Chain A
Amino acid sequence: MKILVCITHVPDTTSKIAFTDNNTKFDPSGVQFIIGPYDDYALARAVELKEQQGGSVTLLNVGTASTEPTIRKGLAIGADDAIRINAEPLDALFVAKQIAAIVKEGAYDLVLMGRESIDYNGGQVHGMVGELVGMPSISPVMQLDIEGDTAKLAREIEGGKEYLEVKLPLIAGCQEPIAEWKIPNMRGIMSARQKPLQVKEPIGEASTSSLRYELPPPKGQVKMIDPEHVEELVKALKNDIKVL
């Protein structure tokens, strides 16, 4: 089975988010970049499926050279090779078009990615790729098994799960608990250095534009309530929050 896993290169979940240049640019100083946590689950499941069924796992990232350490980490987790599309991932459609081109060329059975990136939280790329290449796309996927040419999966819905069956090829936006989270071991890290990483130039240009960033207004002081007087909180729920 040929699997393509698309990964994002995003600020680590604990990063403090800040902007520069009059709130027009993300400030990367002091920020550690990681594989998007949802993408990490997608990759982990791809590696498990390869162990069960044989085949190959190719990583794909749309990003400038600065993302290569993140790609190498993905290779250390167990992907066989990687492709980097040499461009700033400026919007979802642009990224989806780059992925679609690779999907068409590569005849993959399965294209896995995270349900959304944790920077822009769009959750659009899997659906766009599906439409661009004419393949079913399912998200958010929390279970995925392959039996012959059929994928059996569970998708999260509000308050529950929906079970589906679909013939391959398929695109899935993944989330936990689809796989065991994997941490690269020393052997993986050593071998990742030798694995092929191909760089390709992008097609087309991004069209939507991001103009200006904003941070949420600072939080006011917390009002502490005496544990002996919880009725103070009930009053607040009634009069200030108006939920009672």
Chain B
Amino acid sequence: MSILVFVESADGEIKNTSKEAVSYAAALAEKSGENEVIALSIGTTVSENSLSALGKYGAAKVLHVPLEELNQGIIQAYASVINQAIEKTGAKYLILAKSSLGDPVAARVAIKANAELAPNVVELPDLSDGFKVKRSIYTGKAFVWMTLNSDKKIVTIKKNAVEIREGGSEATIEKLDVQIDSSDFEAKITKTDKAEGDILLPEADIVVSGGRGLKGPENWGIIEDLAKALGAATGCSKPVSDMNWRPHHEHVGQTGIKVSPTLYIAVGISGAIQHLAGVNSSKHIVVINKDPEAPFFKAADYGIVGDAFEIVPKLTEAIKAS
């Protein structure tokens, strides 16, 4: 019996969140006695080297579906391919990273494969009596343990909840033949707008966000400089994107992107509960705010009370010097 992991790529490289998913599968294989972790990669944009390197994180084999028409993530087509891979491998588990593609695809596969699905999982399952998993709910404000009872089980992994394993050897790559039907391509992708070259916010390990305290878009240089010094992605609060100071895809929070980086730095953000909902699963939070009463300090690990326009450039210099 095997564990199948759907892996995603960005700019030709396997995403870190997918490496986390493979690492999770490898740990689950050890725990459950399933004997093989098989990664599944769809499309032709990833190099063979990146695919075989999935062995490092615990995959024995990579099934590759090298069809150009699948280079774009069409939800129905991906669900159909993944389901065929489950049938061909007889996989008992499907593991995916939680993502804008993984989530809607997993839902459709669950129906096709007659599998129960646990989204947003943060820990390895408890296998002592059935299959119990812990998932994050209430936008990070709580967790629930749930049981999956079906034969086949699907789990999506929340970012940064799992350590990426290193070690292991190269995985073998096998081509997987699949049937694709024109009905899987009902939705046509006509254009993609992507922030090129930047570190993608949902994937980033460090995020520097600015709020209304920065007063205007012309002041964002200090945020960008700090982010650059740290190799971080930039984010913002909702009013900032509502006023078009920053693009919508940087808006973090309840109604925006949810991030769970190792480090979140919030500058001139008050820490309203709706903003916190998007960042409360960050491992460490640093808050810079001139108001010592700002609610964000309650959620922070480190705080500096002071004017962002003085503190942030100083901090950037100190980081560069270190």
* Contact call A222/B298, Cβ cutoff below 8 A: yes
Does A173 lie at the interface of the complex (its beta carbon under 8 Å from any beta carbon of B)? yes
Interfacial chain B residues near A165, Cβ < 8 Å: 187-188, 190
* Contact call A238/B145, Cβ cutoff below 8 A: no
* Contact call B249/A161, Cβ cutoff below 8 A: yes
* Contact call B106/A124, Cβ cutoff below 8 A: yes
Interfacial chain B residues near A173, Cβ < 8 Å: 104
Q: Report the Cα distance A209→B118, complex, angstroms.
A: 11
- Which of B25-33, B172-180, B202-210, B211-219 interfaces with chain A? B202-210
Does A237 lie at the interface of the complex (its beta carbon under 8 Å from any beta carbon of B)? yes
CB distance from B294 to the nearest CB of A (A): 11
What is the size, in residues, of chain B's interface with A at 8 Å between Cβ atoms? Answer: 89
User: With A210-B145, A237-B319 as given contacts, are A164 and B190 in contact (CB-CB < 8 Å)?
Assistant: yes
- Partner pick for B301 among A132, A177, A220, A227, CB 8 A cutoff: A220
Interfacial chain A residues near B283, Cβ < 8 Å: 241
Q: Chain B at the A interface: mostly helix, strand, loop or mixed?
A: mixed
Q: Report the Cα distance A241→B285, complex, angstroms.
A: 10
Q: Name the residue on A nearest B258 (C-beta).
A: A121
* Contact call A160/B117, Cβ cutoff below 8 A: no
Q: Report the Cα distance A164→B73, complex, angstroms.
A: 11
Instruction: Give residues of chain B (110-129) contacting chain A, Cβ–Cβ below 8 Å.
Output: 110-112, 116-120
Does B182 lie at the interface of the complex (its beta carbon under 8 Å from any beta carbon of A)? no
Q: Name the residue on B nearest A14 (C-beta).
A: B273
* Contact call A208/B186, Cβ cutoff below 8 A: no
Q: Name the residue on A nearest B15 (C-beta).
A: A158
Q: Name the residue on B nearest A163 (C-beta).
A: B191
* Contact call B190/A208, Cβ cutoff below 8 A: no
Q: Name the residue on A nearest B148 (C-beta).
A: A208
* Contact call B75/A137, Cβ cutoff below 8 A: yes
Mask, A1-34, CB within 8 Å of B = 1, is 0000000000101100101000000000000000
CB distance from A140 to the nearest CB of B (A): 6
A-B contact pairs, 18 of them (CB 8 A): A127-B111, A136-B187, A137-B107, A138-B187, A157-B192, A159-B249, A161-B193, A162-B189, A164-B188, A164-B190, A208-B147, A211-B146, A213-B143, A213-B144, A214-B144, A230-B304, A234-B315, A236-B302
Q: Which residues does B use to contact A, with CB under 8 Å?
A: 10, 72-73, 75-76, 79, 99-101, 103-108, 110-112, 116-120, 132, 134, 136-150, 186-195, 198, 200-203, 205-206, 230, 248-249, 254-255, 262-263, 273-274, 277, 280, 283-284, 286-287, 297-306, 310-311, 314-315, 318-319, 322
Beyond the given A17-B142, A161-B192, A166-B188, please list 17 additional residue pairs across the A-B interface where CB-CB is below 8 A: A13-B139, A13-B273, A37-B254, A126-B104, A126-B107, A137-B75, A137-B107, A137-B108, A157-B100, A161-B249, A165-B188, A208-B147, A213-B143, A216-B140, A220-B301, A231-B322, A244-B322
